[in-house]
Amino acid sequence: MLSFPNAKINLGLNIHAKREDGFHELESVFYPISWCDILEVLPSNKLSFNSTGLSIPGNKNDNLCVKAYNLLANDFDLEPVSIHLHKCIPMGAGLGGGSSDAASMIKSLNQLFELKLSQNQMLSYARKLGSDCAFFIYNKSCLATGLGDVLNPFNIDLNQYEIVVVYPGIHINTAWAYSQLVPKKLNQSWVEDFRQHPYNWSTIKNDFEEVILKEYPDIKKLKNNLLMQGAEYACMSGSGSSVFGIFKKGVKIDITSFKSYKYYLHV
């Protein structure tokens, strides 16, 4: 069973409340992009996990693919599987790669063992693994609220654009980033403005940029580079440090200017 878990970008991100449990209420639009990992799941004599590609830190048993298997194995009599993940999406980049791997694992097990899980059942399992895992069950542009796990379809098509995503190799501690923010109550959601006036990028922002671009000038420089090259909109994805630019097709983009960065994608 072979799948290609893809990344996502955040078209804007607002943090508007801190909950009593310490987590934050947010509002964002998640949009899938074609930066993919490769996940192979095969029946085996014992459960195993191996990875190639980008190095994955930590204990193998803590990998979200293994956790997804164990989560479903609690409810179903699953045979052991061999899991091979070829990692291409950089970690700690704000692109949701690990969450996508987990969602693809749920889908793969559902198909491999003919569990006949509905989409809602897979969503329920995904939410137990992480706030944005559920998005990758849908894997279509969605308005994300709550912790990022309350999802509603959001009709936006970026096929008339080219997207450049650049990861500068800077690790942003998500807990630190949240601790620096003062949640701002939403008087009027930019999402509604954007829904009424599609592709009016001027109303969108990412609250994390106010803190992170000040702390990490290289990320600000990267964003400015994308804008100077003609991007209609450039923004950090999630809490970073990846930055993406959205260009009208036909705009000449100097991709060589991003070769000094660790990873980049042009789609």
The distance between the two most distant Cα atoms of the chain, rounded to a whole number of Å, is 56
- Tell me, yes or no, if 8 is annotated catalytic: yes
Question: CA end-to-end span of the chain, whole Å?
Answer: 26
Catalytic residue among 8, 87, 107, 223: 8
The whole-angstrom separation of Cα 71 and Cα 74 is 5
Estimate to the nearest angstrom the gap between the alpha carbon of 77 and the chain centroid: 31
Q: Which amino acid is at 242?
A: S
Backbone angles phi, psi at 13, to 5 degrees: -160, 120
- Tell me, yes or no, if 262 is annotated catalytic: no
How does DSSP assign 84-143, residue by residue? EEEE-SPTTSSS-HHHHHHHHHHHHHHHHTT----HHHHHHHHHTT-TTTTHHHH-S-EE
Per the CB < 8 A criterion, the answer to whether 54 and 43 are in contact is no
Catalytic residue among 37, 101, 132, 207: 132
Positions marked active-site: 8, 132
